[in-house]
Structure 1
Amino acid sequence: MGKDYYKTLGIPRSASEDEIKKAYRKMALKYHPDKNKDPGSDGKFKEIAEAYDVLSDKTKKDIYDQYGEEGLKGEAGGFPNGGPGSGFHYTFNGDPFHLFGNSGFSFNGAGNSFFNNGMSGHGMGGHYKHKQDPTVQHELLVSLEDIAKGTVKRMKITKKVYAHDGKCRTVDKVLTIEIKPGWKSGTKITFPKEGDQYPGRIPADVVFVIRDKPHPCFKREGADLIHVHKLTLKEALLGTQFEITSLEGQKIPIVIDHIIKPNFHKKIENQGLPSPKTGQKGSIIVKFDIKFPDTLSTQAKNAINEFL
């Protein structure tokens, strides 16, 4: 048995053109996927659109009234006189949202404010404007070692997609992110329209924001790497030596043979991060954290007083 378009719109076969239009508007508002979140609403919305597409067109309506859906869609071989005639074949391939926007309704009237955001109507020239979902943002922690040389990250996302039958399914997708050497924390990589899919809406953009992964030895300041070395008061007064391992694994000897004051720092050029534009490397900057004793014995005080 073919589809009953009159039943779909909830109207009798004797309904007038105006009654058909009013019934379509009522049913379309009820089942519009932006308003009705039931899983089958988008499929129902398409059925309603197809029914209105047929019944609002005199030629298609006359054929449907005489021969039913089978005759309308060119399947009337068993009908008297071959049905509506060879060469006529109807298939609904339209966009139900476009049909709704171009159905001659005004969406600015009372009670229709739901459609004012994302849908506009101008009498017979009304149209539906799809609205994009808000951006979905993820943070991506990247080690300083990877920032120094560049790397490729593959991130798996899970999103919802809708099939033509209106059923929702969940799929996984792997997004490839090529991280360039020297990229700054806060750099954004955008994958347009990779968010969840919903009928009548544009999928959200998926954005990954690069963040520096905490490092045990360095803290980043632009292209420079800050290293804080702890030392005793004795080392600060008499000098010290130690090694720093660069991000590339190189051992860098540090020799200080003078008094280290609290605001002193040592710069090791071309051992920092590269500029993403020029490739020029920053520096490793060694700062010193001097540990002062909590107390001094009388003997220590006298010795210091004697030699300073």
Structure 2
Amino acid sequence: MTPPFLLACILFLCIALSSAADLYKVLGVHNSASEADIKKAYKKLSKKFHPDRNKEEGAEGKFVEIAHAYEVLSDSTKRQIYDRHGEEGLKAHEGGQRHANPFDMFANFFGGGGFQQQEQVRKGPTSVTEFEVSLADMYTGASIDFMIKKRILCDHCRGSGAASDSDIHKCSGCDGSGVKVTRQQIWPGMFAQSQTTCNECGGRGKVIVRKCPHCGGQKIVDHTAHYTLEVLAGMPEGHEVVFEGEGDESPDWEAGDVVLRVRSKREKGGWRRKESSLYWKENIGVDEALLGFEHNITHLDGHIVTLKRDVVTQPGFVQTMKGEGMPHFHESTHGDLYIEYNVVLPTELSSPMRKKLAEAFHSSRHEKDEL
């Protein structure tokens, strides 16, 4: 755990720096974000940058900065002052008041047990989806917006299922324990005691008198969420992009992850990919196969690649274009492009063309015979 003196220094430094920062940007939310959105952002980011998990340089400072942003934006009064007057106005309002310890704030947020306890919370299922993008997007990189239908905690009751907090009562059947104890005589003077889940409250120890009108007591509602997938240039086939904590929500578990397994669309003809190599089939005529040619093809990012040969090209010949393949992931270099040539024969020949070909090939054979 961080020494108190070092923690105080970090806290003072981060608060001083945050005067130039946008607290909404620190949490990655819009300035119109709801209380639930702010809470969700803090939950995700605080776990990501907690020093017990993240050992990267600067993670602890980021963790403190996130805590400060949440402390301000989760308080309606402080948030209003910040929105109107910024950090300076907030400092004047607080009048030198000490800020909350970010580690205590984290522990309280996750039920008092800190990072170790929240790690043991039951986590919901992870959703894995095959996500197809164009090969051009995997070559250049792109930002792709998409939507996911999922279930979230009801905004009205926040997952309690009750119309209000006063509509949640202690179960009279089990006196709030969630279990019923029964005694059964199995022999004179001898009894067996057993526990069963309370059938009146389902083991929760509480009953709802009036259900939430928004979700009908179901605690969760259907929701369509919007996301952006950042496809990086040269991203490998099957690369997994994880959206942490964006799975189905439930009051019984912490939301799981949404995983997108990114692949390029399979299209007939055109470009093909194998790891960092690209493949292209180019059709040429008989005359071009014999006499040579110069063709231009448009690459995946729009630049022109010139194919030029001045010698005989056999059917199926493969030409290598160095550095014209896929970008290497997280690198500035590229793989190679392989051009396979397909010689296309004419479906029929006119009489003049047949005569010219006969003269060309027969005369060449006659000259060889004379030699």
TM-score (norm 1): 0.50
Who is 1:211 aligned against? 263
Percent identical residues:
26
Give the number of the structure whose alpha-carbon radius of gyration is greater: 1
Counterpart check, 1:171 vs 2:223: yes
Query: Counterparts in 2 of 1:238-257, with a 5 A limit?
Result: 238-257=291-310
Q: 1:138 aligns with which of 129, 143, 149?
A: 129
Q: 1:196 aligns with which of 248, 260, 266?
A: 248
Q: Give 1:195 shift.
A: 2.0
In structure 2, stretches of 5+ residues that fail to align are 1-119, 154-158, 162-216, 366-371
Who is 1:288 aligned against? 341
- Contact 2:121–2:253, Cα closer than 8 Å, also in 1: no
- Per the alignment, do residues 203 and 129 of structure 1 end up closer, same or farther by CA in structure 2, a change over 3 Å counting? closer
Q: Deviations over 1:64-114 (max 9, x none)?
A: xxxxxxxxxxxxxxxxxxxxxxxxxxxxxxxxxxxxxxxxxxxxxxxxxxx
Q: 2:274 aligns with which of 221, 227, 237?
A: 221
Who is 1:159 aligned against? 150
Q: Deviations over 1:11-66 (max 9, x none)?
A: xxxxxxxxxxxxxxxxxxxxxxxxxxxxxxxxxxxxxxxxxxxxxxxxxxxxxxxx
Q: 2:232 aligns with which of 166, 177, 180?
A: 180
Instruction: Tell me the number of residue pairs that the alignment of Structure 1 and Structure 2 aligns.
Output: 180
Secondary structure class of the residue paired with 2:139:
helix
Who is 2:364 aligned against? 307
- Contact 2:316–2:342, Cα closer than 8 Å, also in 1: no
Q: Give 1:293 shift.
A: 5.2
TM-score (norm 2): 0.43
What is the alpha-carbon distance in structure 2 between the residues aligned to residue 258 and residue 144 of structure 1?
32
Q: Give 1:186 shift.
A: 0.8
Aligned residue type for 1:256: R
Secondary structure class of the residue paired with 1:200:
coil
Bigger RCO (CA 8 Å, 6+ sep):
2
**Aligned CA-pair RMSD:** 3.0
Q: Give 1:291 shift.
A: 2.1
Who is 2:178 aligned against? none
